[in-house]
Structure 1
Amino acid sequence: MITVENVSKSFRSRTGSVVALDGVSLEVNAGAALGVVGPSGSGKSTLARVVSLQERPDAGAIRLDGLNTATLDTRSLRATRRQIGFVAGDAQLFNQRTAAGNIALPLEQSGVDGPQRRARVGRLLDLIGLTDKAAAYPVDLTDGQRRRVAVARALVGEPGLLLADDPTANLDADGAAGVMAVLDRARAELGVTLLVATQDTNVVRRICDDIALLEAGRLLEHGNLFELLHDPESVAVRELLPVIDATPSVGHDRTADVVLIGFAAVGALLPEAASRFGVQVSVLGGGLTRLGETPVARFRIGLRGERADGALAWIGDRGGIVHQPLAGPQGVAA
């Protein structure tokens, strides 16, 4: 488990001191994937560097499986860093080395023998889907392929924790999808704990269990994605789910915002509610996305019929989330 306890970090600038992190506290369970999201300058990259022990916080503590890293001497700190993989948004590969050679470099520096190096590099080339590019040089690879090689290099030391700072930055859709697939496979097949700092909410939707939202160095929100869906005030929900650009509601007895999770709910819950309660249900706005492999819909719906209240209550009882009940003058108690 990663525990960040009241961490603060500032940097000097020409105009004075810049606060990058301001009392940030959060936890990441072993084997989980946390997406740290925020605009440029929010502190997410600084948090990634602090957790990866590349930077020391000014205040607070970083604990890795209970170990307070602030108490480590230089030798112990170096050994602990080797248990952490770090990959930046710019691939920073060595142009004179092949893809396999770039991945092998940390093992060469650590004195790992040739047969063991080749075995580990081969496994990682397979994991990133580039076995056929082992002998290719960076100039012959696409941007997305170079980024995948950088991820493999960060994993070659068999770390328990992988930090990825803006791993899909400046990639096209195919390149970004390839990097996300590699990060997801690394967690599933290698068991690494994953922390991804990103501005790209697609990364969080695709591979993360949890989200932490930063703004101006402060933590706005932190939690499990599916649990946050139940909070009508959640900033994460607004960031991750489809925007409701609803058409004006005319002639509806009730109007409500609903979140539906899973194939069965998304495909059948609204039509079944309409049938059971003899009401007309119209989708006024919203849309469909996925969190991991799970479809999630957010809709604004309008209902016509005497049993509209009952239909909304039934949707809630069947796992639908009725977020912001809206209706004429009296509202809806869902």
Structure 2
Amino acid sequence: MITVENLTKSFQHNQNNVVALNGVSMEVPAGAVCGVVGPSGAGKSTLARCIALLEKPDSGAIRVDGTDLVSLGGKALRAARRQIGVVPQGDSLLRQRTAAGNVALPLEAAGMAGPQRRSRVGELLDLVGLTDKASMYPDQLSGGQRQRIAVARALAAKPSVLLADEPTSALDPATTDSVLTVLDRARSELGVTVLVVTHDMAVVRRIADDVAVLEDGKVVEHGKVLDLVAEPGSRISSTLLPETNQAASLKPSATGHDVVAEVVLVGFAAVGALLPEASSRFGVELSILGGGLTRLGETPVAKFRVGLSGERSESALKWMIEHDAHVRRAPVCVDGAAA
């Protein structure tokens, strides 16, 4: 588990003190993938560099499996750094080394014997799906292949934590998917806790269990992705879920319905059956006024703006809430004023 407590970090820039992190606190469960998102300058990369011990914070604590890394020094600090694999932003491979040679680099630095080293490199090339590229040099590989080799190199020393800074930057969608598959396999097959700094919400949608949103050096939203998307007004919800027809937020009578609401459904059972069952059970007409379906990891999630018509519309809506639908009533206007 990664625990960050009240982390602060500032830099001097043009004789001004720039606060990059301002009291950041968050937790990443062991074996989870956490996406760190936010606008440019929010502090995402600084947070990753502090956790990786590449930058020393001004104050606060960074705990990995209960050990406060900030307080370490000497051999203890070097040992802690070996438990954190880093995939830096951009193309970081050594051009004079083959793909296998790049993966082997940290193992050579650790003094691992040749037979063991070759075996470990082979395992990692298989993990990232590039066994057939072992003897190729970086300039012979595509951008996505180079990034997958960088992930393999970061995993060479069997770290418990993997930090990836913008791992899909400038990659096309198909190549992005191959890199994310590798990060997901690191979590699922090796049990590594993965922290991904990204501006691409497709990364969060595809592999993240948790997400932290940074703005101006502060965490403004943090939690499990599937919990946050169900919260009204959540930044993550508005970013990850389909947009609904905002015109449907007018008073229900303007749409020809008795009740208008925004409904978020999470999971196969809810997405597939809840709305038609509510309509049938209460004898109401249910219309989809906007929204759509997406997938977060392996879980289908729907966000719809619905209109209900019939005497038992309110009962149908209440029943949906009781069966784990997340419902927000659309604003209702009465005689031109907000109700």
> 1:115 is matched with which residue?
115
What CA distance in whole angstroms lies between the structure 2 residues aligned with 1:70 and 1:162?
18
What CA distance in whole angstroms lies between the structure 1 residues aligned with 2:289 and 2:330?
14
> 1:313 is matched with which residue?
318
Deviation at 1:139, TM superposition (A): 1.2
> 1:221 is matched with which residue?
221
SS of aligned partner of 1:91: coil
> 2:71 is matched with which residue?
71
* Unaligned stretches of 5+ residues in structure 1: none
Deviation at 1:327, TM superposition (A): 4.3
Letter in 1 for 2:296: L
Contact 1:246 1:284 in 2 (8 A): no
Letter in 2 for 1:204: V
Length, aligned pairs only = 330
More deviation, 185-194/320-329: 320-329
TM-score normalised per structure 2: 0.94
Contact 2:229 2:240 in 1 (8 A): no
What CA distance in whole angstroms lies between the structure 2 residues aligned with 1:325 and 1:247?
10
> 1:299 is matched with which residue?
304
More deviation, 276-285/33-42: 276-285
Deviations 1:168-192 (A, max 9, x none): 1110001110111000000000000
> 2:251 is matched with which residue?
none
> 1:255 is matched with which residue?
260
What CA distance in whole angstroms lies between the structure 1 residues aligned with 2:332 and 2:300?
27
> 1:238 is matched with which residue?
238
Runs of 4+ residues over 3 Å off in structure 1? 245-249, 324-330
Deviations 1:182-234 (A, max 9, x none): 00000000000111111111111111111110001011011111222342132
Contact 2:164 2:195 in 1 (8 A): yes
SS of aligned partner of 1:150: helix
What CA distance in whole angstroms lies between the structure 1 residues aligned with 2:202 and 2:185?
17
Percent sequence identity over matched residues? 59
What CA distance in whole angstroms lies between the structure 2 residues aligned with 1:329 and 1:305?
20
What CA distance in whole angstroms lies between the structure 2 residues aligned with 1:132 and 1:107?
21
Deviations 1:114-169 (A, max 9, x none): 11111111111111111111111111111111111100000011000000111111
What CA distance in whole angstroms lies between the structure 1 residues aligned with 2:78 and 2:328?
48
CA RMSD of aligned residues (A): 1.5
Deviation at 1:326, TM superposition (A): 4.2
What CA distance in whole angstroms lies between the structure 2 residues aligned with 1:218 and 1:13?
19
Deviation at 1:278, TM superposition (A): 1.5
Deviation at 1:68, TM superposition (A): 1.6
Contact 1:256 1:327 in 2 (8 A): no
What CA distance in whole angstroms lies between the structure 1 residues aligned with 2:40 and 2:207?
21
What CA distance in whole angstroms lies between the structure 2 residues aligned with 1:21 and 1:98?
38
Deviation at 1:247, TM superposition (A): 4.3
Deviation at 1:70, TM superposition (A): 2.2
What CA distance in whole angstroms lies between the structure 1 residues aligned with 2:71 and 2:269?
51
1:275 aligns with 2:273: no
Letter in 2 for 1:272: E
1:21 aligns with 2:26: no
Contact 2:166 2:197 in 1 (8 A): yes
TM-score normalised per structure 1: 0.95
Letter in 2 for 1:274: S
Contact 1:254 1:327 in 2 (8 A): no
Deviations 1:76-126 (A, max 9, x none): 211110110000221311112111111111111111111111111111111
> 1:146 is matched with which residue?
146
Deviation at 1:75, TM superposition (A): 2.3
What CA distance in whole angstroms lies between the structure 1 residues aligned with 2:63 and 2:266?
34
What CA distance in whole angstroms lies between the structure 1 residues aligned with 2:245 and 2:100?
48
The equivalences for 1:34-113 within 5 A come to: 34-113=34-113
CA gap of 1:329–1:254, structure 2 versus 1, over 3 A, is farther
Letter in 2 for 1:7: L
Contact 1:253 1:328 in 2 (8 A): no
Contact 2:263 2:326 in 1 (8 A): yes
What CA distance in whole angstroms lies between the structure 2 residues aligned with 1:209 and 1:329?
42
Contact 1:143 1:171 in 2 (8 A): yes
Contact 2:165 2:197 in 1 (8 A): yes
> 2:32 is matched with which residue?
32
Letter in 2 for 1:149: I
1:201 aligns with 2:201: yes
More deviation, 106-115/154-163: 106-115
Deviation at 1:246, TM superposition (A): 3.7
